[in-house]
Amino acid sequence: MSHLSQALASSDFVITSELTPPKGINLEPLLDKAALLKPHVCAINLTESHAARMAMDPVAVGHLLLDHGIEPIVQMTARDKNRLAIQASILGAAALGISNIVFMGGDPPKNGDHPDAKPVFDLFASQLLEAVHALNNGTDLTGNELSGKPQLFAGAVANPGASDPDMEIDNLHRKIDAGAQFFQTQAVYDVQAYAAFLDKARSPRPMLAGIIPIKSVKMATYMNERIPGVDIPDALIQQIADAGDDKNQIARVSVEIAAKTIRELRSVSPGVHLMAIGWESYIPQILAQSQP
């Protein structure tokens, strides 16, 4: 069993984080960040060509994190591989010692740095989960027997701020029926609204609430306008605006906001998924201030 699965089965408040593999082979900055996060998190997500921007395969990076005693959660998208390739990648990850995989659709290539790339999307996220469920049970997606089966802890993503919450909840339960064993969510800024979503969704699987620190008013405005399901309240944006132009003051306020959100989430969520997006050095401060 993975450490993540054991932690989620316990009464611990679980912390995961996220890093983006490099565009190139220089892993030193990523490994430095991973070493910083290691004492504070249960496991670290590795994105797969995040925002459709080509980067090193997260399976390779995950294997290297294991060498450094850090448990990875590898992200796999439907965007880039057909059902043959995705199952091959899943088996390859398992053979390299990776236990945790999170499945998602992925951003369209037209939004990334290779806009002419052909999207695949052979399988939906729920079908990706069905594939890993089949592999865990000793067959491929069409029922052919495997020579040795993996033991993978499969996760998925959820968007509690989706414009159609009923559709999102239906999709969440399809993923559960397909084999999702845990969820990580889009960024949460309104804990009461998130608690209402959880109450309505009634998920039997643990959900880690997403946390993205607000780096600037510009970032907050962009997220509200361009990222589906994100709604940063005006009051929080005003707090960042009131911090002025001093980067240290902005960071201090941002840390306080993220820490307060996590404190409030402790009563409704089994844990959080911290996506610092370059601000990994602030995660220890956020977590220290988030203690009850």
Question: In this predicted model, what pLDDT tens digit does every residue of 94-134 receive, in sequence order?
Answer: 999 999 999 999 999 999 999 999 999 999 999 999 999 99
Say yes or no to pLDDT of 1 above 80: no
**In terms of Cα–Cα distance, which of 173, 184, 147, 148 is closest to 274?**
184
Model confidence at 209: pLDDT above 80: yes
Tell me what pLDDT residue 173 has. 98
Say what the pTM is.
Answer: 0.96
Q: Which domains does the chain have, with CATH numbers?
A: 3-213+265-281 (3.20.20.220)
CA–chain centroid gap for 206, Å, is: 13
The two three-digit tokens of residue 80, written as one number: 């880039």
Contact by Cβ (8 Å): 53, 23: yes
Asked if 254 contacts 213 with a C-beta cutoff of 8 angstroms, the reply is yes
Structure tokens at 56: 């090193």
Structure tokens at 91: 């088996």
Which positions ≥6 away from 124 have C-beta within 8 Å?
Answer: 78, 105
Residue 169 or residue 292, greater confidence: 169
Which residues partner with 158 through β-bridges?
185
The pLDDT, as a whole number, for residue 292 is 86
Closest of 54, 1, 60, 2 to residue 31, by C-alpha: 60
What would the pLDDT profile of 127-154 be if each residue is shown by its tens digit? 999 999 999 999 999 999 999 999 999 9
Place of tokens 């997606």: 141
Give the count of alpha carbons within 13 A of 268, CB side only: 19
